[in-house]
């Protein structure tokens, strides 16, 4: 540190930040004195001017750019002039998984194929032939669990088909549904399995579009 800098009560820190890759206006340029915690704004053209003490650390911050840190050391005129080249922050791009949309024909085939998984039950005249088996099936926890699992798998298949339909209708601008509302809207639809399997394309579109309008009204209340 020279004699001139030692005698400076205040140092005028001036300069300019530039982006060499593209012309840019810096409306949010800010200089922050780390010792005092105080900050001032720079000019839109990137120029700045601030009084600090000798040896203060100043952080120059611009949104979307890497901050610059400068230790201010005065010259013989109690000034510190710096031209700083700033670089944009690296942008993180989230991984996006693109799932191909199924065609109406593919979805219709899935709708028609919906069927409960069979769990063999003794019914009708067979009850008379095998009453013990019938009683076992009626009260057996194992058999009840098998039926419950089959029902849940069937419901999952229904939901998958409905989701594919909704994604297709969104791509055709028939409805405007966000991904986060899918589950709520499917529950709101409460479409019956028989209607899902047998309805025509026009019946499905009319039903879902009408339900979506009601869903929006309920959601926005």
Average confidence score pLDDT of the chain: 78
**Stretch 173-196: mean pLDDT, rounded?**
84
- pLDDT tens-place string over residues 195-218: 888 888 888 888 888 888 888 887
Lowest mean pLDDT among 26-30, 91-95, 198-202, 217-221: 91-95
| Euclidean distance between CA atoms 175 and 219, whole angstroms | 15
* Top-confidence residue, 55 or 180: 55
Instruction: Give the confidence band of 97 by pLDDT, cuts at 50, 70, 90.
Output: low
Answer whether residue 18 shows pLDDT above 60.
yes
Instruction: Give the confidence band of 104 by pLDDT, cuts at 50, 70, 90.
Output: low
* Top-confidence residue, 219 or 186: 186
All residues at 6 or more sequence positions from 29 whose CB lies less than 8 Å from its CB, including other chains: 17, 41, 42, 43, 44, 46, 48, 60, 61, 62
Q: Are 158 and 114 in contact, with CB atoms under 8 Å apart? A: yes
Instruction: Give the confidence band of 141 by pLDDT, cuts at 50, 70, 90.
Output: low
* Top-confidence residue, 135 or 18: 18
Q: Where are the beta strands (DSSP E) in 19-67?
A: 30-33, 39-41, 47-52, 57-61
CA atoms within 13 A on the CB side of 180: 1
Answer whether residue 143 shows pLDDT above 70.
no
CATH architecture of the domain covering 3-85? Sandwich (2.60)
136 by DSSP, 3-state: which? helix
Backbone angles phi and psi of 47, in degrees to 5: -80, 155
The domain segmentation of the chain, as residue ranges, is: 3-85, 104-219
* Top-confidence residue, 145 or 208: 208
């Amino acid at each position: 540190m020279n004699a001139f800098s030692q005698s400076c009560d205040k140092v005028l820190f001036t300069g300019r930040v530039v982006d060499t890759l593209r012309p840019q206006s810096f409306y949010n340029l800010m200089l922050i004195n780390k010792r005092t915690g105080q900050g001032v704004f720079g000019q839109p053209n990137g120029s700045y001017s601030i009084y600090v003490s000798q040896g203060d650390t100043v952080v120059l911050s611009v949104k979307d750019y890497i901050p610059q840190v400068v230790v201010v050391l005065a010259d013989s005129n109690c000034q510190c002039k710096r031209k700083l080249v700033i670089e944009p922050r690296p942008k993180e791009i989230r991984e996006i998984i693109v799932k191909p949309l199924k065609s109406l024909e593919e979805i219709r085939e899935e709708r028609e194929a919906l069927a409960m998984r069979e769990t063999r039950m003794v019914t009708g005249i067979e009850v008379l032939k095998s009453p013990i088996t019938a009683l076992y099936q009626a009260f057996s926890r194992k058999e009840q669990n098998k039926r419950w699992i089959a029902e849940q798998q069937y419901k999952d298949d229904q939901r998958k088909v409905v989701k594919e339909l909704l994604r297709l209708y969104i791509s055709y601008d028939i409805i405007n549904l966000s991904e986060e509302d899918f589950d709520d809207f499917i529950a709101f639809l409460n479409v019956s399995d028989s209607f899902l399997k047998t309805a025509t394309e026009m019946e499905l579109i009319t039903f879902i579009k009408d339900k979506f309008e009601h869903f929006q009204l309920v959601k926005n209340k």
